Amino acid sequence: MKKVALATLLLVAAACTQAPKAPTAKSYPIVDSLLKVMTLEEKVGQTVLFTSDWTVTGPTMREGYLDDIRAGRCGNIFNAYTAGYTRKLQEIAVNETRLGIPLLFGYDVIHGFRTIFPINLGMSCSWDVEAIEESARIAAREAAAAGLHWTYSPMCDISVEPRWGRISEGAGEDAFLGSLIAAAMTRGYQGDDLSDVGTVLACVKHYAAYGAPQAGRDYNTVDMSERWLREFYLPPYKAAIDAGALSVMASFNELDGVPATANRHLLQDILRDEWGFRGFVVSDYTGINEMVMHGYASDVEDAGRLAMNAGLDMDMQGASYMDYMVGLVRSGKVRESTLDEAVRRILNVKAELGLFDDPFRYCSAEREATETLTEDNKAAARRIASGSMVLLKNDGVLPLQKGKRTAVIGALAASKDDLLGSWRGAGEVESVPASILDAIREVAPVAYAEGAKEMGDDRSGFAAALSAARSAEQVVLVIGEDCQWSGEAASRSDIRIPGVQTELLEKLAATGKKVAVVLLNGRPLDLSRENELAGALLEAWYPGTMGGYAVADVLFGDFNPCGKLSVTFPRCLGQVPIYHYAKNTGRPYIHPEAKYESRYLDVANEPLFAFGHGLSYTDFEYSAISLSSDSFSGGGSIRATVTVLNNGSREGTETVQMYIRDLVGSVTRPVKQLKGFERVTLGPGESKEVSFTIDAETISFWRQDMTWGPESGDFMLFIGGSSDDVKEIPFSYAE
């Protein structure tokens, strides 16, 4: 077929109205022009996304993706990066296909691209929304310089399921905090102008409710009421879309019996009709084909038909659209106008990215060399990593003293690789300047013993570890999970620390030494035994490229820990699911002697570490709450104020949290639900008033008739430094 110069189409397009700059992916004249001349095959090509052979992020590989690009069969590529390689692929698309439509390059930039930040669950524990936005901005700049246009993030899946390995990729259990983080990450990635070469397109995933798989097994069935879905699971996806995200990834799971990949209720009714989403929807990796295994489609062709007709625009890696869409349109099973809409949405985003103006604008070897892993990026990674750590327990062991003889124990202490966590983008272990052990060595004389690996039952290192501990003045034990034990396809049925690591802690504690335990892990763990044995417990997650230094900063007091749990830590797996916004039930557990109340016979109802928990090296004291008025009505509001005092001897940052309870509703309401927070930094002896506004939106919910709004009645308001450590005061509202 004759090659049509893209430049000609651009000239025609330029004569039409000017394209809008705001990230709305409205209509672009170039897209109209293209759609008029594209063949059916060329249209389908734009709905196809294949992986390169650079990175493996799923079960299949496709030979010959270069030929697919050349033949116009594949308009989008993921897992290919570097300015050089993306330029090479883009040249094929632009110079060797008839229309020269540029490729879109996607990649999983999840918690950093080259400079790796803490895993997302860790970052969410900073409650520092600006810092999280900054991490996304840095990741976007680094990724865009390597030729990438599109990141598969933010991951907006709320989860109360610690068995599920992907809980590590999200922002924890709470929709309010999760929404702020989802919006911040979207802003960080996309900036104000998607055509800016320092930004990338965000992809809101995994839509929807992928974080609620039954039994915590990845990809498993999800079923929940529409009310629960809307109140506790959907808000972060919506927040990212409201912040301008122009792509969405459908999740692998089914919801109410219909796979998300072809779920019209999710993709059309809610996403497009209710929320006004204007971008495109991509399947997850072979998600269309998997509808056959789900038992929802009879074969891959049928799956393609169902997905396209439900509003799924792009097929990731499945080749269902590539192989069958032309036939489906010709046979009338898919309307050509439906395909046109999908293509239009995809091309609009390519236009929004500026790819029709200059397809090579993102591939810049110069920017790649100068904007990647810069000192500023690394300094931000170090600060954000320290701010993400949660001091779960401290019996006065921390901070440690510099210069004192320190035993450092545990295989994980010496690992640079584990610091990066799973989904580490293009982060490389060679870029990690120091393990935890290396970093501690810079501030104290160290005796290192491996003691125990993170897996297996090898106890041969115990004796050396015990002897190192005995002759040390302070002892650090680093334990946890191998970093590949969280992330995709990494569910566990046991959420205790694996291997013989806890046994080693038992032996170390038996020496009489107080042990400071540093935890590297990607999920809430059952730390009941460690909590009994350790002198201090520092949850460091997988802290990223600068994680070794960041851990040492906290251990030795250069950084005063301020992280607060964004997810509840149970006492044991039997308590799961456990989360702070639980309902009261008709028989709440109140009387210790009562039998017929909602309780366990063998474990307390309370978690080991509650949502919002996190200690500091200083102490914060809260005054009683004062209210500007004890009631409000209609569109009015009240202010709730507390004075927070730093009662210790060093500066610290506290996250002041506000929760509410609606005492009686047309449907039952949580006993406590996060509705606001503010981070304050106070010097020793300093105090500050912190105020929250409570209005109708604060107390709104999905009422019995499934409308969103407030109801008149009595409420309880709570403010404190953790969901289980709050002051309370009643108020009322009249509609």
Work out whether 152 is an interface residue with ligand NOJ (CB under 6 A). Answer: yes
For 37-194, strand residue ranges (E) read: 48-51, 76-78, 104-107, 150-151
Please state the closest distance from residue 51 (CB atom) to ligand NOJ, in A. Answer: 7
Work out whether 352 is an interface residue with ligand NOJ (CB under 6 A). Answer: no
Nearer to ligand NOJ, 57 or 598 (CB): 57
For 405-489, strand residue ranges (E) read: 406-409, 446-449, 474-480
Give which of 122, 125, 101, 114 is closest to 48, Cα–Cα. Answer: 101
Nearer to ligand NOJ, 57 or 338 (CB): 57
Work out whether 284 is an interface residue with ligand NOJ (CB under 6 A). Answer: yes
- Measured from the Cβ of residue 80, the count of other Cβ atoms closer than 10 Å reads 24
Work out whether 218 is an interface residue with ligand NOJ (CB under 6 A). Answer: no
Nearer to ligand NOJ, 176 or 285 (CB): 285
Q: What is the DSSP letter of 274?
A: I
- Measured from the Cβ of residue 461, the count of other Cβ atoms closer than 10 Å reads 18
Interface residue with ligand NOJ among 176, 285, 321, 731 (CB under 6 A) is 285
Nearer to ligand NOJ, 322 or 516 (CB): 322
Task: Dump the DSSP string for 191-245.
Answer: -S-TTSTT--B-EEEEETTTT--GGG-TT--B---HHHIIIIISHHHHHHHHTT-
Please state the closest distance from residue 603 (CB atom) to ligand NOJ, in A. Answer: 33
Tell me the catalytic residues. Answer: 284
Work out whether 296 is an interface residue with ligand NOJ (CB under 6 A). Answer: no
544 residue type, one letter: G
Interface residue with ligand NOJ among 111, 114, 149, 205 (CB under 6 A) is 205
At residue 388's C-alpha, the angle toward residues 196 and 443, to 5°, is 110
The rounded distance, in Å, linking the Cα atoms of 269 and 207 is 13
The rounded distance, in Å, linking the Cα atoms of 276 and 77 is 27
Please state the closest distance from residue 488 (CB atom) to ligand NOJ, in A. Answer: 5
Work out whether 108 is an interface residue with ligand NOJ (CB under 6 A). Answer: yes
Nearer to ligand NOJ, 285 or 542 (CB): 285
Give which of 539, 544, 541, 589 is closest to 561, Cα–Cα. Answer: 539
Nearer to ligand NOJ, 488 or 553 (CB): 488
At residue 242's C-alpha, the angle toward residues 196 and 565, to 5°, is 100
Q: What x-and-dash track marks residues 463-502 binding ligand NOJ by CB under 6 A?
A: -------------------------x--------------
What the block records as the tokens of 301 is 């062709």
- Measured from the Cβ of residue 657, the count of other Cβ atoms closer than 10 Å reads 26
Work out whether 718 is an interface residue with ligand NOJ (CB under 6 A). Answer: no
Work out whether 654 is an interface residue with ligand NOJ (CB under 6 A). Answer: no
23 residue type, one letter: P
Nearest to ligand NOJ by Cβ — which residue? Answer: 57
What the block records as the tokens of 661 is 């309870």
Nearer to ligand NOJ, 104 or 440 (CB): 104
Work out whether 65 is an interface residue with ligand NOJ (CB under 6 A). Answer: no
Please state the closest distance from residue 397 (CB atom) to ligand NOJ, in A. Answer: 39
How many residues bind ligand NOJ (CB under 6 A)? The answer is 8
Please state the closest distance from residue 110 (CB atom) to ligand NOJ, in A. Answer: 8
Binding residues (CB under 6 A) for ligand NOJ: these are 57-58, 108, 152, 205, 284-285, 488
